[in-house]
């Protein structure tokens, strides 16, 4: 189904490992196109946060599934910023803490949790005009997405970016600790049996290592312009 059959804009899937620049790029592409921006990692993070808040064991699969099935997740947009709400509380900042990153990665390996969140993601994006970022958007959530991008960068570059981002927020971890955390999370996300992080066969691979955010955004907007019929989109 193309955008005209759907009657709305494109579905753009942006996947890749942590620190590849997905969020910054996806948010800006959505803003430029006037599209909805959906951060699917935030949804796994919210479930991870709730599990930590409830002192649940992350290897207690049944309890984590119960949490996923009984949580109210909302992605809101307020003054141009995206917010994540969990059970009526704003958790936008809380879900970015490092323990939550690891918890999100662990809970995301549970198939039942993925099933619940993937269904929600498909509902959110079904109407089109959406930029959705994650690990499995092009392979699983929207295998028929109009444009699939796989953003990557060397592990060191990704860790350096995350380290600087954490330092700006006042976190004390060292670069070596950040490299170890990124490495552990990537391993888990890439090796899990259900929907591991992989590039879809028809995704465009972009290595962001030596590039500015602006260059990557221009590259993707160029690809959007070359989508069949895109001259009629705006
Ligand atoms: O993109 P992020 O770092 O906020 O994602 C947090 C974790 O959630 C990540 O380690 C793996 C998981 N995730 C996933 O399994 N599938 C997605 N579509 C998005 C994130």
Give the number of the atom of ligand 1 that is nearest the alpha carbon of residue 188.
10
Confirm whether 36 is domain-assigned: yes
Confirm whether 228 is domain-assigned: no
Give, using CA atoms, the residue closest to atom 1 of ligand 1: 41
| Residue 232 CA to ligand 1 centre (angstroms) | 34
Confirm whether 1 is domain-assigned: no
Confirm whether 234 is domain-assigned: no
Domain coverage including residue 131: 6-223
Give, using CA atoms, the residue closest to atom 11 of ligand 1: 105
Question: Is residue 206 within 8 Å of residue 151, measured between CB atoms?
Answer: yes
Give the number of the atom of ligand 1 that is nearest the alpha carbon of residue 105.
10
The CATH number covering residue 123 comes to: 3.40.50.300
**Which residues line the pocket of ligand 1, CB cutoff 6 A?**
18, 40-41, 44-45, 104-105, 108, 134-136, 185, 189
**What total of structural domains would you count in the chain?**
1
Give, using CA atoms, the residue closest to atom 10 of ligand 1: 105
Give, using CA atoms, the residue closest to atom 5 of ligand 1: 41
Pocket test for ligand 1, best of 39, 119, 135, 193 (most atoms within 8 A of CB): 135
- pLDDT tens profile 9-23: 999 999 999 999 999
Give the number of the atom of ligand 1 that is nearest the alpha carbon of residue 42.
4
Confirm whether 107 is domain-assigned: yes
Give, using CA atoms, the residue closest to atom 4 of ligand 1: 41
Tens-level pLDDT at each residue, the chain (234 residues): 444 444 579 999 999 999 999 999 999 999 999 999 999 999 999 999 999 999 999 999 999 999 999 999 999 988 778 899 999 999 999 999 989 999 999 999 999 999 999 999 999 999 999 999 999 999 999 999 999 999 999 999 999 998 998 888 888 889 999 999 999 999 999 999 999 999 999 999 999 999 999 999 999 999 999 998 775 444
Give, using CA atoms, the residue closest to atom 13 of ligand 1: 41
Residues sharing a CB contact under 8 Å with residue 53, sequence separation 6 or more, in sequence order: none
Confirm whether 233 is domain-assigned: no
Confirm whether 232 is domain-assigned: no
């Amino acid at each position: 189904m193309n955008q005209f059959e759907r009657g709305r804009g494109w579905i753009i899937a942006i996947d890749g490992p942590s620190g590849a620049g997905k969020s910054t790029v996806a948010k800006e592409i959505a803003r430029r196109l006037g599209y909805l921006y959906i951060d699917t990692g935030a949804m796994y993070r919210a479930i991870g946060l709730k599990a930590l808040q409830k002192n649940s064991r992350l290897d207690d699969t049944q309890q984590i599934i119960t949490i996923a099935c009984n949580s109210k997740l909302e992605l809101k947009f307020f003054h141009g910023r995206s917010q994540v709400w969990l059970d009526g509380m704003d958790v936008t900042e809380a879900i970015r803490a490092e323990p939550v990153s690891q918890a999100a990665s662990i809970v995301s390996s549970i198939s039942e949790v993925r099933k619940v969140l993937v269904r929600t993601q498909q509902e959110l994006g079904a109407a089109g005009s959406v930029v959705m970022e994650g690990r499995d958007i092009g392979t699983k959530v929207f295998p028929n997405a109009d444009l699939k991008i796989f953003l990557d960068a060397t592990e060191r570059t990704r860790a350096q970016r995350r380290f600087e981002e954490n330092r700006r927020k006042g976190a004390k971890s060292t670069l070596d600790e950040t490299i170890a955390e990124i490495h552990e999370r990537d391993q888990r996300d890439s090796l899990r049996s259900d929907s591991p992080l992989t590039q879809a066969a028809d995704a465009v691979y972009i290595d962001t290592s030596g590039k500015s955010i602006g260059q990557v955004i221009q590259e993707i907007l160029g690809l959007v312009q070359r989508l069949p019929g895109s001259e009629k989109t705006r």
